[in-house]
Chain A
Amino acid sequence: MSQIHIKQGHIIDPVNNINRVGCVYIANGKIISVTNEPAGFKPDTIIDAQHKIVCPGFVDLSTRLREPGQSRKATFKSETAAAANGGVTTMCLQPDTSPVIDTPAVAELIKELAKNADYPQIYPIAALTQKLEGTELSAMLTLKQAGCIAVGNANQSVRNLLVLRRAMEYAASHDMLVMFRPNDYWLGNNGCAHEGAFATRYGLPSIPEAAETIALAQCLELVELTGCRVHFGQLSCKRSVIKIHQAKKYGLHVSADVAVHQLHLTENDIIPFDSNYHVLPPLRTGADRQYLRQGLASGTINSICSDHQPHDKDAKLGAFPETEPGVSSVETLLPLMLKLVAQRIITLEQGIASLSGNPARVLRIKSGALSVGFAADVCVFDPELEWQVNADNWKSQGVNTPFWGQTFKGRVTHTLQGGNIIHCLEKSG
């Protein structure tokens, strides 16, 4: 089996407390040593990582690859290439596929699609309730055995709290993680923009913060009642961060992530009626962004996800409220994280931890670190390399991003998944 030598890079591995120049040695798909050259090591591939950062491959807690059901938007082939281009080596797949991930057949199909795309590390999140309808429990144990890593509600609200309570109790019985996106159906009122000055000016149906915070508060109460392990996904506002902070201080075992665009964009950045800014939860205020950033810096929010949602052109072509929400974002994950480092909001170690070690810990998987014996999931990036978001540098089938045309600093040069080089910048041209 092949041996790979990643040479003289600046290794940052927050889990193992490594932050120094050195080498990573890989054999048989696993990391066999960091820094010290193992005896008899004969690499058949050498990756020159001088002046580059070598870190664990990224673990993305929320993605949509559009298969099964919407291959006109994107495919596993296109989106795993995009993920590799973005340094992501593990992806969690939201259950709102078509059909919904609520039977082992769909979970197995996803595993098969992943294997065919030569990107095996895709973990389906099973639907918390059948068809995500919020009425009947999904067969969580069967789904777990079929490879689902957690259960979740995707963008659907669970309107009936008794159902949510029982789903959480049942998940806890099988020690399954619940990935919950808090959103009260009624308060959300089919809105498409934050309830603030922007939506008021442009007459857009709006979503108050309370749609998120009330659902979050209810779920936190149920965490206490049921003892369920819950990870809150894609938080968007100040009061959510405060609530998570208080819950953790109180002793609840919960964690949270934020979608990377929420750390940069606010309602004031929206170009009027530009559907590329249509995301759920919506872009909120500067104060909300400030708290999300602080929450990340303080560890209240431990992970950044891409919340990758590629779309075809038609999905974004229409009057703003009628377009589909979401950003194709897995390829801008790293540079947007690095921007936070450049702005001194977080350290580079924190940024890398929030993309690798922390989400891996949420999922309880052996990834997100360069530990000896772990699968060699590695991201090598050049922090100084500038690149433009354009068709030449883009792999995702979805070009729906508000960052199109912008120039970013920091680019992934190599991505290794289980020791396989799934992305190499020089070769991909």
Chain B
Amino acid sequence: MIENLQLNSKGKLKHFLSIEGLPKSLLTEILDVAESFVGIGDNQIKKVPLLRGKTIVNLFFENSTRTRTTFELAANRLSADVLSMSISTSSTSKGESLLDTIRNLEAMYVDMFVVRHSISGAAHFIAQQTAPHISVINAGDGQHAHPTQAMLDMFTIRQIKKDFSMLRVAIIGDILHSRVARSQIQALNTLGAAEVRVIAPKTLLPAHVESLGVNVSHNLTAGLKDIDVIMMLRLQKERMTSALLPSESEYFKCFGLTEEKLKIAKPDAIVMHPGPINRGVEIDSKVADGPQSVILKQVSNGIAIRMAIMAMAMQKQGVS
């Protein structure tokens, strides 16, 4: 089970693959540890020696700029040695299997894999197969999970709103294909948010979405009422060609977040987006750059959260 795989016998974090199965106390601990790392970026020497002598390999089977960069920075600030590999262009194109790639890197004495892969379950598979001393951090697998993104979102929400128990959160856009949304929903529910609402057309919602513990709306105007936190999702261009949506402009008309629509939410609502944003498709520039937007704050927080998770996952090996 995912739960057992992620925690060691003492209940400490070993791998970080999914929010599912992690207790509230552990999520809170991650947020607390991240808090202690926030100031480091402002210091003249932006490093702590927590992971000195450790080797971390960023294995990106799928393109990414933001996530990979923040993972690299986080590892650097923990004083680890970091190797970043974009595998889509190297071994798999030569026919090497995922497992062979992992075995080869294991043979180079690494301590942690940070994995992004286009197939759901890939990080889980690697965690199952890899040597017991190696930790695996999921940096996004298919449509399954993107737990570090969800945790940096939770961190940002907590910074501003303090308490989750009164919060009504709306997640807007392509829930069907979104690993971010799945992890956000699990994190918000674990941390005790009052309501998680998903707002999207039926074509962008998975079957039985309510089984994830959300309320469903197909109408942005109605759905934004009483909302404290608005989490936008990126809309991929290929959704238009696969008959999920008629056009970008119609999507913007129905589900694009404009200043006018934002007024329907609570006056102190914050606007979040995991990036990269499509201006004029899911979000209007005035909102993205406006006073309620915390999008860039999310990016900065990404480093602290990833430092916290990497440090905690390494702790099980006796690194304090």
A170 to B201, CA, bound (A): 45
* 16 new A-B contacts at CB < 8 Å, known A203-B120, A317-B99: A200-B209, A200-B212, A201-B182, A202-B120, A203-B143, A204-B121, A204-B143, A272-B124, A273-B2, A273-B120, A273-B121, A319-B117, A319-B125, A320-B120, A321-B119, A321-B142
**22 A–B contacts from the bound complex (CB under 8 Å):** A197-B211, A199-B206, A200-B207, A202-B121, A203-B120, A203-B145, A204-B121, A204-B143, A204-B144, A205-B120, A206-B206, A208-B207, A271-B1, A272-B124, A317-B129, A318-B98, A319-B117, A319-B119, A319-B125, A319-B141, A321-B119, A321-B121
Decide if the interface of chain B is mainly helix, strand, loop or mixed.
mixed
**Is the CB of A322 closer than 8 A to any CB of chain B?**
yes
A299 within 8 A of B: no
A residues near B144, Cβ cutoff 8 Å: 202-204
Residues of A within 8 A of B179 (CB): 203
Tell me whether A13 is interfacial, beta carbon within 8 Å: no
**Contacting residues of chain B (88-140) with chain A, CB-CB under 8 angstroms:** 97-99, 117, 119-122, 124-125, 129
A196 within 8 A of B: yes
| B122 neighbours in A (Cβ, 8 Å) | 319
Q: Does B20 contact A (CB under 8 A)?
A: yes
| Count of residues in B whose CB is under 8 Å from the partner chain | 27
Known contacts A201-B20, A203-B145; is-contact A196 B121 (Cβ 8 Å): no
> Is A200 a contact of B119 with CB atoms below 8 Å?
no
* B207, closest chain A residue (CB): A195
Whether B208 sits at the interface, judged by CB under 8 Å, is yes
Q: Mark A317-355, 1 if CB is under 8 A from B, else 0.
A: 111111000000000000000000000000000000000
Q: Which secondary structure dominates where chain A touches chain B?
A: loop
Docked Cα-Cα span, A202 to B145, in Å, equals 8
Query: How many whole Å from B238's CB to the nearest CB in chain A?
Result: 14
B120–A206 CB distance below 8 A: no
The closest CB in chain B to the CB of A201 belongs to B212
Given contact pairs A271-B1, A317-B99, A206 touches B207 in the complex (Cβ within 8 A): yes
Give A35 to B289 CA distance when docked, in angstroms: 89
User: Top 6 nearest A-B pairs by Cβ distance?
Assistant: A203-B143, A203-B144, A197-B211, A200-B206, A273-B121, A319-B121
Q: How far is the CA of A202 from the CA of B99 in the complex (A)?
A: 21
Q: Are A320 and B121 in contact (CB under 8 A)?
A: yes
List residues 130-172 of chain B with CB under 8 A from any CB of chain A.
Answer: 141-145
Q: Is the CB of B211 within 8 A of A203?
A: no
Q: CA A272 – CA B141 in complex, angstroms?
A: 14
Inside 8 A of A199's CB, which chain B residues have their CB?
206-207
**Closest B residue, CB atoms, query A272:** B2
- Smallest CB-CB separation from A194: which chain B residue? B207
> Closest chain B residue to A206 by CB distance?
B207
**CB pair A273 B124 closer than 8 Å:** yes
> Chain A 205-241 against B: per-residue CB contact (8 Å), 1 yes, 0 no?
1101000000000000000000000000000000000
| Complex CA distance for A320 and B207, rounded to whole angstroms | 19
- The residues of B that contact A320 with a CB separation of less than 8 Å are 119-121, 125
- CB A103 to nearest CB in B, in angstroms, measures 30
Q: Which residue from B129, B182, B207, B208 sits with its C-beta under 8 Å from A203? A: B182
Q: Given A203-B145, A203-B179, A271-B1, does the pair A319, B209 have CB atoms closer than 8 Å?
A: no
CA of A317 to CA of B97 in the docked complex: distance in angstroms? 10
